[in-house]
């Protein structure tokens, strides 16, 4: 049974005009969104599949005129304001997804592990609050190797595994990139620590294996290569009957910026043009198939639907 309800949605034609949408946009009232963020988790269903969004926290990123390669700082602030967000900083939130199906519990990405920002690192506490035993997670799927997606796998000082009994599946292309000595030589100094940490952990973990291409990783869950953000960046497609969910990882960052403007290039993207191409393809697929989507940095709750909006798209978050 789905926990999704539309009763708390506010539909505003005036707000849609401000955002440049062709029609009214459904948004979650601020107080309701704050309540869900405080709760720390949000449950919904895709057919017979139980899904839980987990809130790991927020990075209040200072403004930087290089954050979006092909948009100015003023344009960035204007887009944030139009999306109803603060313009004091870039509010980058982190949300993970848990899938419960076929007697298995699958975690998709693992958060910051409290090792990146003082206002993030809440995933484990919110996992427990949602009634999910971390020790009973069967499989962990990793979209890519950026710190906010993998540091939740390892303890801060010792690199000890947080999920030693879970099967960890990672994209082969991503693994090869981050363990290739040529990558290390080409990385800026600030990224070399990440390379070293990956090399000190992943190759030694017997419960970690690689996958490639588009394939079924767990019953009902397929990998979707959407490279560009990183060399092996991967989304995950979950199906149950005629219902679909696409867990998009970092296919796009904040909706107000990169969903509304899918052609904007974030500084985080390894191959900006490829990232844009795959972003638009995946958005188009979500719209055409009527799939629910979950975006890692889409705010909380991170699940909802996508609609076409002129040259861009609009994300309508679930409420309930």
Please state, rounded to an integer, the average pLDDT across all residues of the chain. 90
Per CATH, domain 10-317 is 3.60.15.10: yes
Residue 29: band (very low, low, confident or very high) from pLDDT cuts 50, 70, 90? very low
Give the tens place of pLDDT for each residue, 170-203: 999 999 999 999 999 999 999 999 999 999 999 9
- In whole angstroms, how far apart are CA 139 and each of 17, 46, 105, 135, 275? 44, 19, 7, 11, 27
Evaluate if residue 26 carries a pLDDT over 60.
Answer: no
Domain boundary assignment for the chain: 10-317
- Structure tokens belonging to residue 189: 């100094």
Give the tens place of pLDDT for each residue, 122-147: 999 999 999 999 999 999 999 999 99
What pLDDT is recorded for position 13? 34
For 12-41, what is the mean pLDDT? 47
For 276-304, what is the mean pLDDT? 96
Q: Give this prediction's pTM.
A: 0.89
What pLDDT is recorded for position 2? 33
Percent of the chain, pLDDT > 90?
Answer: 87
For 237-265, what is the mean pLDDT? 97
Give the tens place of pLDDT for each residue, 87-110: 999 999 999 999 999 999 999 999
What pLDDT is recorded for position 36? 64
Evaluate if residue 9 carries a pLDDT over 50.
Answer: no
Residue 35: band (very low, low, confident or very high) from pLDDT cuts 50, 70, 90? low
């Amino acid at each position: 049974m789905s926990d999704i309800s539309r009763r708390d949605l506010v539909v505003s034609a005036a707000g849609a005009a401000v955002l440049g949408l062709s029609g009214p946009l459904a948004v979650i009232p601020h107080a309701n969104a704050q309540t869900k963020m405080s709760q720390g988790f949000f449950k919904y269903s895709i057919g017979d599949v139980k899904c839980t969004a987990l809130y790991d926290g927020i990075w209040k990123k200072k403004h930087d005129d290089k954050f979006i390669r092909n948009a100015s700082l003023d344009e960035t602030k204007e887009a944030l304001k139009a999306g109803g967000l603060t313009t004091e900083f870039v509010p980058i939130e982190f949300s993970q997804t848990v899938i419960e199906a076929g007697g298995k519990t699958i975690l998709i990405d693992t958060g910051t592990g409290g090792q990146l920002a003082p206002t993030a690192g809440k995933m484990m506490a919110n996992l427990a609050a949602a009634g999910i035993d971390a020790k009973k997670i069967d499989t962990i799927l990793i979209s890519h190797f950026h710190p906010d997606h993998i540091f939740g796998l390892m303890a801060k000082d010792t690199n000890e595994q947080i999920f030693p009994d879970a099967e960890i599946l990672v994209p082969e292309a991503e693994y090869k990139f981050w363990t290739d000595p040529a990558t290390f030589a080409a990385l800026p100094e600030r990224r070399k620590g990440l390379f070293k940490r990956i090399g000190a952990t992943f190759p030694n973990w017997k419960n970690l294996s690689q996958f490639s291409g588009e394939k079924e990783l767990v019953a009902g869950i397929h990998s979707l290569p959407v490279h560009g953000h990183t060399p092996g960046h991967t989304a995950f497609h979950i199906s149950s009957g005629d219902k679909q969910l696409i867990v998009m990882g970092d296919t796009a960052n904040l909706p107000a910026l990169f969903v509304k403007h899918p052609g904007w290039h974030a500084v985080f993207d390894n191959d900006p043009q490829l990232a844009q191409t795959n972003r638009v393809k995946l958005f188009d697929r979500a719209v055409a198939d009527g799939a629910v989507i979950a975006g890692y940095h889409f705010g909380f709750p991170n699940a909802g639907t996508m609609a076409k909006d002129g040259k861009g798209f609009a994300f309508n978050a679930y409420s309930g």
